[in-house]
Amino acid sequence: MKFDRLSCLPEILKKNGYNYAAYITAVEKEYSSKDSIFDSMGMDEVLGSKEIGEIIKQVSRSTWGYSDHQTFPVIDWIIENKAKEPFFILFSTLDSHQPFNLVSDVINYQEGSSPLLNTIHTTDDAFGIFWEKFKASELYENTIVIAVADHAVFPRSYSFAKDYFPQEAEGNGPNVYDRSLLMIYVPNSFLPDRIETYSSSIDMPPTIMEILGMGGREIFDGKSILSDRKDFPNILGMHEFGLYINQLNQDGTRRESYSMPQELSCDLNNSYGNQQEPLSLCEYLNFYKWKRLMLEEGRLWDDNNLDE
3-state secondary structure 202-238: HHHHHHHHHHCCCCCHHHCCCCCCCCHHHHCCCEEEE
The answer on pLDDT for 71 being more than 90 is yes
Tell me how many degrees the CA angle 206-41-4 measures, rounded to the nearest 5. Answer: 100
CB neighbours of 109 closer than 8 A, spacing ≥ 6?
117, 118, 120, 121
Among the listed residues 205, 203, 207, the one whose alpha carbon sits nearest the alpha carbon of residue 246: 203
- Judge: domain 2-234, CATH 3.40.720.10: yes
Give the whole-angstrom CA distance, residue 250 versus residue 271: 19
Residue 46 sits at φ, ψ, to 5 deg, of -125, 120
Average pLDDT over residues 152-165: 64
Give the whole-angstrom CA distance, residue 247 versus residue 233: 7
Q: Residue 172: its pLDDT value, please?
A: 46
| Beta-sheet pairing, 182-185 with 145-148 | antiparallel
Q: How confident is the model at residue 1 (pLDDT cuts 50, 70, 90)?
A: very low
The answer on pLDDT for 187 being more than 70 is yes
* Residue with the larger pLDDT of the pair 154 and 26: 26
Average pLDDT over residues 192-214: 91
Average pLDDT over residues 234-252: 75
Among the listed residues 211, 224, 220, 98, the one whose alpha carbon sits nearest the alpha carbon of residue 151: 98
The answer on pLDDT for 288 being more than 90 is no
Q: Residue 303: its pLDDT value, please?
A: 46
* Residue with the larger pLDDT of the pair 272 and 67: 67
The answer on pLDDT for 185 being more than 80 is yes
The answer on pLDDT for 274 being more than 70 is no
Average pLDDT of the chain, as a whole number: 82
First to last CA, the chain: 5
**Dihedral (CA of 155, 221, 263, 271) sign:** positive
What residue segments make up the domains of the chain, in order of their start? 2-234
Give the whole-angstrom CA distance, residue 154 versus residue 161: 9
Q: Residue 81: its pLDDT value, please?
A: 96
| 3-class SS of residue 194 | coil
Give the whole-angstrom CA distance, residue 84 versus residue 21: 9
Q: Residue 131: its pLDDT value, please?
A: 98
Q: Which helix (H) or strand (E) holds 247?
A: strand 242-248
The answer on pLDDT for 11 being more than 70 is yes
- How does pLDDT run across 80-114, given as a tens digit for each residue? 999 999 999 999 999 988 888 999 999 999 999 98
Name the H helices within 136-214: 158-164, 204-211
Residue 62 DSSP code = B
Q: Residue 120: its pLDDT value, please?
A: 92
Residue 303 DSSP code = G
What percentage of the chain exceeds 70 in pLDDT? 73
For 89, half-sphere exposure in the C-beta direction (CA atoms, 13 angstrom radius) is 23
Residue 14 sits at φ, ψ, to 5 deg, of -65, -40
The answer on pLDDT for 128 being more than 60 is yes
The answer on pLDDT for 248 being more than 60 is yes
Among the listed residues 165, 201, 162, the one whose alpha carbon sits nearest the alpha carbon of residue 181: 201
Q: Residue 2: its pLDDT value, please?
A: 37
Strand partners, 246: 235, 256
What one-letter code names the amino acid at 126? Answer: A
Q: Residue 176: its pLDDT value, please?
A: 61
Helices and strands in the chain, H and E counts: 8, 10
